[in-house]
Chain A
Amino acid sequence: MDYWFSELHTKDVKLSIRVDRQLYSGHSEFQRIDVFDSPEFGRFLVLDGYMMLTQKDEFIYHEMIVHPAMAVHPRVRNVLVIGGGDGGAVRELCRYDDIERIDLVEIDKQVVDVSREFFPEVTSSLDDPRVKMHYRDGLRFVRGCKDEYDLIIVDSTDPFGPGEGLFTREFYGNCCKALKEDGIMINQHESPFYSEDALACQRAHKRIVESFPAAKVYQAHIPTYPSGHWLFGFASKKYHPLRDLNERRWNMRGIKCRYYTTTLHKGAFYIPAYVEELLKDVEHAD
């Protein structure tokens, strides 16, 4: 049997993964949810046809969306995670004993339920007593917060679909308001490579620059995401991602990662020339 999952990365490029079997398929109020087993990537989660995570490479994404900010901000106590119903970002956050509260805002409860059933190693920390789940629209939730969080992690799907509202100026502006005066916002920032993704990436950067005093991006290599070259946004009211990196402090914590190191941290902020240019184009626009 020749059984493949294919995702179009552009209308002319696709990534195909051989599938052993399909474990789940369902429609939530917001999207279609599928789970497959594959020989190469293990189990993987698909939303509306887009690959969200695979057992083999999810550690890269989840480590990179959490640890860089944690190595910069000296005192993270209150964290807001928006999206990320698979629990991966929360799992990484729960490795820090000094975090006191994690609010997870996910619009689609079914994503959480499916993840709990099929990806227990990813959702393992969702029952940590510090975690509070909110099944709500992220934009709506953050609108009601002011001066409350040290760190906000925007672990959204792509900007075409239910995650659309999490790539807007009104969202980033409200996040800025919800952060304390030295808060940091990290967001899933799409890929700069294929032209359509690059536009979304550029647009998101523009909206963040308009909303925060400082905005940088950093990169990671994620094999199953379009082009494999993925960006994250680091928007901050006070701390600089490199100048305020405290390697010693972070390494003293003894958190062992498979992708992130404080050395890689420094390299991740050195981005290719064409990406620099893509972003610079919107930094001083208008």
Chain B
Amino acid sequence: MKKPTQTSAPIYEALQAMKSMRLVPFDVPGHKRGRGNPELTELLGQKCVSLDVNSMKCLDNLCHPVSVIREAERLAAEAFGAHGAFLMVGGTTSAVQTMVLTVTKRGEKIILPRNVHRSVMTAMVLNGAVPVYVDPETDDRLGISLGMSVDAVKRAIAAHPDAKAVLVNNPTYYGICSDLRTIVSLAHAAGMLCIVDEAHGTHFYFGKDMPVSAMAAGADMAAVSMHKSGGSLTQSSLLLTGPAMQEGYVRQVINLTQTTSASYLLLSSLDISRRNLALRGEQAFAEVTCMARYARGEINDIGDYYAFGKELINGDSVFDFDETKLSVNTLDIGLAGIEVYDLLRDEYDIQIEFGDLGNILAYLSIGDRERDIERLVSALAEIRRLNKRSKAGLMKHEYIEPIVEMSPQDAFYAEKEEMLPIQKTEGRICSEFVMCYPPGIPILAPGERITRRILDYIAYAKEKGCQMTGPEDPAIEKLNVVEE
């Protein structure tokens, strides 16, 4: 048999072959190719529901892949220049959690920046690992967290030589890259593993002149959001591993929490997207970069907006910049990013990725069109013309050094008092997460001491219309704290 190459898509081909067999389904899912749920079939289309099938011999099984899924994973590993690749169906959250659960155990330390995605911290709640935070530098003008400086990582490693791993966010949501190669070699020299949350960096593996990818930098594991810049379906993702990782153990860890009914819609979307990226990724991302550069120039020409780019590079905490990210600082318009985000959606029918206190982010990818870029730029010009106001009273995000009193697991499962009104929690240890979503980076994580600055920040973000999530009380008027 001929060995499949990047031009093949084994799962997709197996699904097509399965369809032509016209099997009589006496297995799950119970909608039976959509017949049992006509409204759903009407909504999604016959083709889509007829591919929503369960694992079967000809389609392999994600929990223990031996045929087409294994082949698809091998091709993915090859395409990404990784030693191993795992198709993930629980979002990049599941890929990030698998990384943390693989490299740490209860009580073990992991070095990481505080601006990590919630999935890193929820993994620590699950396995009892202890965070050692490195202060990501903050850009004063923009009010965004940057990358980890090499010195800060060095200091953390020296102070915690017993840590098991270093986690790097690369790139950040805003496109900021750390000096990944140096951080990887620092970690390895200290006998630690280096894992990378690369949720926003799928294109680094295929585009030309992109920042270095985790696998190319020698990292041991990387979580790659294929559904973000890679074009696969929402909730599908990839976990990549380097040569130091035991494939069988990683699979076991994945299977701790992974569904046993993985969706073939997600799996085939990963397979097809991988093929597409391998064959056409370089050209596609060249076009995305070109559009992003154009948009950045046009937005900066409007005035007051600052669409930042490679000029931020400083050789350390901004080691490189991902030009496909269209992040725009809005403070000089007198509007918080979240307010511009809301205006764009409510008044201009434009949905962008997120707005924070001082910035917005428009996510550009392989599906964008020039005429839509024109709409975005023109809408921003209109917002400036019609909504500009004084910038007095606008708050910028500042780095608030977390005071970690307990491990996230100990705090989350600790005996709790009754929930307290949020303004009365100052000085207590929080036992739950408080997040602004997106980007989904916790303001408070379980085990952290609550301070006045944190409470002010939460109040301001709520007032500006940020979507707050995490606590047991959905209104975020009360918080759970640890009994002391």
Residues of A participating in the B interface, judged by any CB pair closer than 8 Å: 137, 139-140, 143, 162, 164-165, 168-171, 173-174, 177, 210
Contacts and interface: CB of A to CB of B under 8 A. Distances in A.
Q: Is the interface of B mostly helix, strand, loop or mixed?
A: helix
Contacts of A140: 374, 377-378
Interface string B371-384: 11011011101100
A170 to B, nearest CB: 4
A164 B378 CA distance: 14
B162 interface: no
Interface residues on B, range: 10 to 19
Nearest to A169: B348
Contacts, number: 47
B370 interface: yes
Nearest to B376: A170
A173 B377 contact: no
A169 B382 contact: yes
B484 interface: no
A169 B374 contact: no
Contact of A165 (B374, B385, B386): B374
A171 B375 CA distance: 8
Given A137-B370, A210-B347, A168 B385 contact: no
Contacts of A210: 347
B386 A173 contact: yes
Contacts of A169: 347-349, 379, 382
A170 B383 CA distance: 9
Interface in B424-473: none
Given A143-B377, A210-B347, A170 B382 contact: yes
A210 B375 CA distance: 17
B371 A170 contact: no
Contacts of A143: 374, 377-378, 381
5 contacts: A143-B374, A143-B381, A165-B371, A165-B375, A177-B385
- Which 10 residue pairs across A and B have the least CB separation, nearest first? A170-B378, A170-B379, A173-B382, A139-B374, A140-B374, A170-B382, A143-B378, A139-B378, A137-B374, A165-B371
Contacts of B372: 165
A3 B106 CA distance: 77
Residue from A139, A162, A210 having most chain B Cβ neighbours under 10 A: A139
Given A173-B382, A173-B386, A168 B370 contact: no
A80 to B, nearest CB: 15
Interface in B377-407: 377-379, 381-382, 385-386
Contacts of B375: 139, 165, 168, 170
A213 to B, nearest CB: 14
A169 B386 CA distance: 12
Contacts of B348: 168-170
A71 B270 CA distance: 60
A140 to B, nearest CB: 5
Given A169-B347, A169-B349, A174-B382, 4 more contacts: A139-B378, A143-B374, A168-B348, A168-B375
Contacts of B385: 173, 177
Interface in B353-381: 370-372, 374-375, 377-379, 381
B256 to A, nearest CB: 47
A169 B349 CA distance: 9
A144 to B, nearest CB: 9
A139 B378 CA distance: 7
Nearest to B350: A170
Contacts of A168: 348-349, 375, 378-379
